[in-house]
Amino acid sequence: MSRRAVVFGAAGQLGIELVRELQQRRFTVVSWDRSKVDITDPAAVENALANYDAEIVFNAAAYNQVDVAEKEPQAAFQVNALAVRNLALACRQVDAQLVHFSTDYVFDGAARHPYVEEDPTHPLGAYAVSKLAGELYAQAYLDRALVVRTSGVFGPGGLTTARGNFVELMLRLAGSPNPIRVVEDHVASPTFAPLLASRTIDLVERDISGLFHIGGGAPISWFQFARLIFEAAGLKPTLLATNEREYRTPARRPKYSALSNAKMERSGIAPLPPLRDVLTTYFEARAAAVQR
Ligand SMILES: NC(=O)c1ccc[n+]([C@@H]2O[C@H](COP(=O)([O-])OP(=O)(O)OC[C@H]3O[C@@H](n4cnc5c(N)ncnc54)[C@H](OP(=O)(O)O)[C@@H]3O)[C@@H](O)[C@H]2O)c1
């Protein structure tokens, strides 16, 4: 019999890919976007799960506006922390496994090696604090939650979602005559949403729980990532390197937040392919999405 899964936040970049991948692997899937179930409503979450005999519950919903969160920290905390508590409590009632996603921003960026799961956390702002609190809520109420930290998510869903993603932002900027300035002193692990979904489901299928990092492979600065994007897209806009001193944002961000996938790989899960190859796949998937 196929396993029964639920996806909350199903209309986001990751949610779309989780639903697609679960269906391909013959899970029975129910997906809810915010209009169907708002995860900040404890009764709505509890009712939704009580009426569906789920074995695995994926939370792809998140408040991801890192800079806006500095003005409205309560809004970020409601979605990223207290709503995870709602999900954890509801999962405990129906004995379902919660699979929750967190961020590289739980770290302060002082490291000079890709972060491993054992590294101490030190969030630098309201968004990051709210995401760390979400991890803690998932782990506080559940013995076998799977918490996956990831970084710079981009997927074809970003073409249509309100928040978009870095690739779509770069393509939009390339359409204007102005030079594009991107920070070269911030390094991360941009992660392709379909691969994040499939590697996470690999962990679930092996019945693995705990804390895992799934980041997009070799560490790369946002400037170098922008370069790769324009190469893959066959575009030649004027791209200039800047740095955090020149390009100030309301929220502090870790300068270095690359994630190590070593624990995931030790668990028998395939490594992620190089970013250059992933971007080729992104542009193929994007072209298909544009045609639909
Ligand atoms: N995107 C990144 O660069 C990044 C980096 C590190 C970690 N992550 C983490 O990776 C996960 C997936 O991110 P993503 O890129 O797929 O995000 P996304 O594209 O912004 O999708 C988030 C989804 O959550 C929904 N949502 C927000 N509040 C909700 C609520 N109260 N109830 C139900 N749904 C709600 C949003 O709906 P609306 O559109 O209606 O708001 C949206 O569909 C998240 O946990 C995120 O924190 C992302």
Q: Out of 6, 7, 14, give the residue to mutate to test ligand 1, the one with the largest number of ligand atoms within 8 Å of its CB.
A: 14
Assess whether pLDDT exceeds 80 at residue 149.
yes
Q: CA distances (Å), 37 to each of 25, 55, 145, 164, in order?
A: 24, 18, 21, 21
- Asked if pLDDT for residue 241 goes beyond 90, the answer is yes
Pocket test for ligand 1, best of 7, 8, 31, 34 (most atoms within 8 A of CB): 34
pLDDT digits (tens, 9 = 90+) for 158-214: 988 878 899 999 999 999 999 999 999 999 999 999 999 999 999 999 999 999 999
Domain boundaries, the chain: 4-291
Whether the pTM exceeds 0.95: the reply is yes
pLDDT at residue number 165: 96
Residue 292: per-residue pLDDT? 74
Query: Taking each helix axis from N to C terminus, what angle separates 275-291 and 222-233, rounded to the nearest 10 degrees?
Result: 50
Considering the candidates 127, 137, 256, 282, report the single residue annotated as catalytic.
Answer: 127
**Overall CATH class of domain 4-291:** alpha beta
